[in-house]
Amino acid sequence: MAQAFTEPLLLAALAAREHAHAPFSKFKVGAALQETEGRIHTGCNVENATYGLTICAERVAVFKAVSEGARRFLRIAVAADTESLTPPCGACRQILWEFCGNLEIVLVNPHGRKEVLRLEELFPRPFDVSYL
């Protein structure tokens, strides 16, 4: 039986997933990014027929947050309906590192599975401003 989540961040990611526009892959993803002050910004994946113009849920959440003036983040929840919990893709890892640093990542699915890790575990040698 699925464990019911009660934490607002996880519920927000799962709810955002329901808004995904994934007519081609049918792979719906939701993300919820929490600021250090507690405010939560959500995003979902939005597909395009050319695939290359598709944008992932994590990047939507980051860009929405930044466009609303947010600059400091604690953690992000990523929700997908997969048995093996789905981590951010490489492009999202780069964006998360640049805008959020080594934040906590909470992976969830609608069936109550959850895993918590830090971005540096997924992205051990990121490219950032220190190389410029």
Give the model confidence (pLDDT) of 25-37 as tens digits: 999 999 999 999 9
The answer as to whether 32 is a domain residue is: yes
The answer as to whether 56 is a domain residue is: yes
Q: Which residue has the higher pLDDT, 2 or 30?
A: 30
Q: What is the pLDDT of residue 95?
A: 98
Total number of domains in the chain: 1
d(CA 23, CA 112): 25
Residue 18, domain extent:
8-125
Residue 105 banded pLDDT, cuts 50, 70, 90: very high
Exactly one of 7, 18, 37, 58 is catalytic; name it.
Answer: 58
pTM comes to 0.94
Q: What is the CATH number of the domain that holds 80?
A: 3.40.140.10
Q: What is the pLDDT of residue 1?
A: 35
Give the model confidence (pLDDT) of 44-99 as tens digits: 999 999 999 999 999 999 999 999 999 999 999 999 999 999 999 999 999 999 99
Residue 5 banded pLDDT, cuts 50, 70, 90: confident
Q: What is the pLDDT of residue 123?
A: 94
Residues forming beta bridges with residue 31, ordered by sequence position: 43, 78
98 is catalytic: no
Strands of the sheet containing 114-118, edge to edge, are 40-44, 29-35, 73-80, 104-108, 114-118
The answer as to whether 2 is a domain residue is: no
The answer as to whether 67 is a domain residue is: yes
